[in-house]
Amino acid sequence: MKKRNPWFIFFWVALFVIIFMLMNSARQTGHEVELEYSQFKQYIRAGSVSKVLVAPELIKGQFVDRDGVLKNFKTVPMKDPNLIKDMEDNKVLEFTATGRNDWIGPILLNWGPMILLILFWLWIMRGMYSGSKQAMSFGKTKARVAGNDITKITFKDVAGCDEAKEELQEIIEFLKDPVRFQKLGGKIPKGVLLFGAPGTGKTLLAKAVSGEAGVPFFSASGSEFVEMFVGVGASRVRDLFARGRKSSPCLLFIDEIDAVGRRRFAGIGGGHDEREQTLNQLLVEMDGFETKEGVILIAATNRPDVLDPALLRPGRFDRHIIVPSPGLKDREEILGVHSKKIKLDADINLNVIARRTTGFVGADLANVVNEAALLAARNAQKTVNMKNMEEAIDRIIAGPQRKSHLMSEKERKIIAYHEAGHTLVAKFLPTADPVHKVSIMPRGSALGYTLQLPEEDKYLTSKSELLDKLAVLFGGRIAEELVFSEITTGAQNDISRATEIAMRMVTEFGMSDKIGPLALQRPNEEVFLGRDISREVRHSGKTSEVIDEEVKSIIDTARNKASKIIKDNMEILNKIVDCLLEKESLDGEDIDNIIKDKERESLCKNDSIKVEDKKENSVEKTIVKGQILQNENIFF
């Protein structure tokens, strides 16, 4: 709590006292009648005066005027030795005298306004002084020195990122023993840039470097350097490096450096603004200090593409370290780190959870563990089980369940056929990702969802995989058309995603036979102009028509493929829908069992037909079975 200034309190108390006395004096003065001394003597002789107070400079009292009204009066005294005798002779009931003891009142009345003005001036001057001090402090950096809890973080607390740890190990060794490197004549990198997707652990890695080296850790955000006052950002950069040199060896960490390190002269208008001044000062400071000073600058960003080239050149940020999204092994290790303080049930298998969280980064995995713990606490469980983990993954991917969302039976049936269409097409395409779960329970903004998870991490996508993905996206709409002879708005997101994939296949990936390997969509370079303004059309109108034709051709091919699969397997589609309407959710194993049961029924029917038909030989019967078994090997 902020402490009150005693001068401030004294000023307002004095102001209140002076105003009160002035108001009281004005009120009393307004009700007193000023009399000449001769009139005062006449009223005494007439017996109209009832009370008199004699002071050296003023006589006050009460009298009854000619109308019989009692009034207060005042008059200036004169040298009158007979005054007391006249008051006694005319029976004045009460008279007294006072000395010069009342000096505070006259002083306040006479000098009060001047005292008040002086106090007010002192208060204004003090505010200007404190304001100037605050203005001067704008130029000081807001970088925070890490406490003991942060500097205790080491690489043991960071799961995965093995390659990034190896790159940073050299920085740690230099901070521990810089003389060993200087003897050989080598120069340690001045700056290290960590970049990767949000939530991959860039900031945690920087803290771990500080904890491993055991040196001070100054952390600041890129947005803290730029203020509304000109020159503040550059001053804070200078102050940050000055503090670093005083505390060397140490680490300076700037998080989200893209807030201050964006490319210069990229926007509309001139480049002489506060942000660019701050960037220029940062470039000068990184050129000015030497690594022998024991100061290492680490910066983190998830937008390295917008950084100024001068910031990325050797001599400034010498080393660029990517912090990738974790693989299967890394995800399992990250889950182990975040679940140390969680009471897990015996049936928990972190490897299974890691396989079902493909594409999740460290922040997502931490959220999965936390959501599972909250769900277990909500259900008054003593431990977190596998069901809680599964529900947590579904909540993060699709959102929380909307159990209160009521739908008609017709809508539930439409949604069931839509999701069953996605599922059926995915199961009958060889390169599609396996279906992990399908549900018609509303989650988030979705009325139903089909969850596909790859069996392993993928870094490349082939043309056949993209075509199969398009067919899966149209599976829901095709199922609605074939069953209800009507289409709904439920496929809006599917159509949007399919169109985007097809457009990129033609304009970016070079997967069109007519267009060929041409990149017709230029990435955005002017980061301050906006996506639409800065986009440059690099082809003619005729080429645009060909692009539209190719996109439509790819979409039509995917629709036809999905339509054929669904038409050939309507019995399986109906069975999946019946199970969905009954259970509301099916996992991959349930869907496999449904398809296998239908295949067995079909196989039995074919066998019975072959037995009854004596004209067909056993060779034909074997061919039928072989085709079915071959399909099973493909689809399962």
Q: Which residue numbers are catalytic?
A: 419
Amino acid identity for residue 479 in this structure: A
| DSSP per-residue letters across 310-360 | HHHSTTTS-EEEE-PPP-HHHHHHHHHHHTTTS-B-TT--HHHHHHTTTT-
Q: Answer whether 371's CB lies under 8 Å from 395's CB.
A: yes
Instruction: Please report, for residues 501, 508, 519, the alpha-carbon distance to residue 552 in angstroms, rounded to integers and kept in the order given.
Output: 12, 16, 19
How many C-beta atoms lie closer than 10 Å to residue 366's C-beta?
18
Distance CA 209, CA 174 (A): 11
How many C-beta atoms lie closer than 10 Å to residue 535's C-beta?
15
Instruction: Give the residue ranges of DSSP H helices in 321-462.
Output: 328-338, 350-355, 362-378, 386-398, 409-427
Residue of 305, 308, 255 lying closest to 280 (CA atoms): 308
Distance CA 363, CA 325 (A): 11
The 3-state secondary structure of 48-102 reads CEEEEEECCCCEEEEEECCCCCEEEEEECCCCCCCHHHHHHHCCCCEEEECCCCC
Structure tokens at 393: 């993954």
Residue 293, classified by CB atoms within 10 Å of its CB into exposed (0-12), middle (13-18) or buried (19+), is middle
Distance CA 444, CA 285 (A): 49
